[in-house]
Amino acid sequence: MLKAVKTKASRKTGKSFAIVASTYNLRYVDAMLRAAKAEILRAGGKVQIIRVPGAYEIPVVAARLASNSKLKTQNSKLSAIICLGVILRGATTHAQHIGEAVSNALVQIQIDHEVPVIHEVLLLENEQQAKERCLSKTHNRGTEAAQTALEMAWVMAAL
């Protein structure tokens, strides 16, 4: 029988999280990163931040973190990995290929290593969409990513 998962309101965590964030489209990614970090810290979690050049480089770092996490003791294991990036479509299909490759890799990492990988590598049509999803005070995908990571940490701990 599984343990009951605590309600969101009653949760405080000492759990550890990693955020892998690209430096490409820095303005948007940094806004998501600040929001995600603040949300994790507000919940009492610990955060490790790793920067990579672009979205395509995120999966290899996430895989290394997930692999290393399996080797650690239960007390120091990563509870989730949050991946943040912004890909803006251009005139070619390059952005689509990058987005699909990253998505496929991230899902495989979480399945192979049984560590939640929160996918907020956004494939967006234009800068207006990036502003709406990354720079808004009321709607920030970084905050949502951190909330999902916190929720998944509790779900996985209950299994």
Share of the chain above pLDDT 70, in %: 88
Q: pLDDT category, 8, cuts 50, 70, 90?
A: low
pLDDT at position 46, please? 96
- Domain membership flag for residue 24: yes
The CATH code of the domain that includes 92 is: 3.40.50.960
**What's the alpha-carbon Rg for the chain, to the nearest Å?**
15
Instruction: Examine the pLDDT at 4 and tell me if it is beyond 60.
Output: no
The average confidence (pLDDT) of the chain is: 90
Question: Are 63 and 78 in contact, with CB atoms under 8 Å apart?
Answer: no
Count of C-beta atoms within a 10 Å radius of residue 46: 15
Q: Is residue 4 a part of any domain in this protein?
A: no
- In the structure, how many helices (H) and strands (E) does the chain have? 5, 4
What is the structure's pLDDT at 138? 85
Q: Is residue 67 a part of any domain in this protein?
A: yes
Residue 60 has pLDDT above 50, yes or no: yes
Per the domain annotation, does 96 fall within a domain?
yes
Q: What is the pLDDT of residue 112?
A: 96
Considering only CA atoms, which of 41, 73, 74, 53 is closest in space to residue 149? 41
Tell me, what's the pLDDT at 14? 82
Whether the predicted pLDDT of 117 surpasses 70: yes
Parent domain of 151: 13-158
Count of other CB atoms within 10 angstroms of residue 126: 9
Q: Where is pLDDT greater, at 1 or 124? A: 124
pLDDT at 92: 92
Whether 32 is covered by a domain: the verdict is yes
Please give the tally of structural domains in the chain: 1
* Cα within 13 Å of Cα(140), Cβ side: 22
Q: How far is Cα 61 from Cα 77, in angstroms, rounded to an integer?
A: 16
CA–CA gap between residue 30 and residue 25 (Å, rounded): 9
* Stretch among 5-14, 29-38, 73-82, 138-147 having the lowest mean pLDDT: 5-14
Per DSSP, 55 falls in state: G
* pLDDT (0 to 100) of residue 1: 41
CA–CA gap between residue 119 and residue 112 (Å, rounded): 16
* 7 assigned to some structural domain: no
pTM of the model: 0.90
* 71 vs 67, residue with greater confidence: 67
In a domain, 1, yes or no: no
Q: Please state at what angle helix 94-113 crosses helix 58-71, rounded to 10 degrees.
A: 10
The predicted-structure confidence for 90-107, as pLDDT tens digits, reads as follows: 989 999 999 999 999 999
Number of other CB atoms surrounding residue 147 within 10 Å? 16
Catalytic residue numbers read 94
- Please report whether residue 152 resides in a domain: yes
Q: Residue 105 contacts by C-beta under 8 Å, 6 or more apart in sequence? A: 59, 62, 63
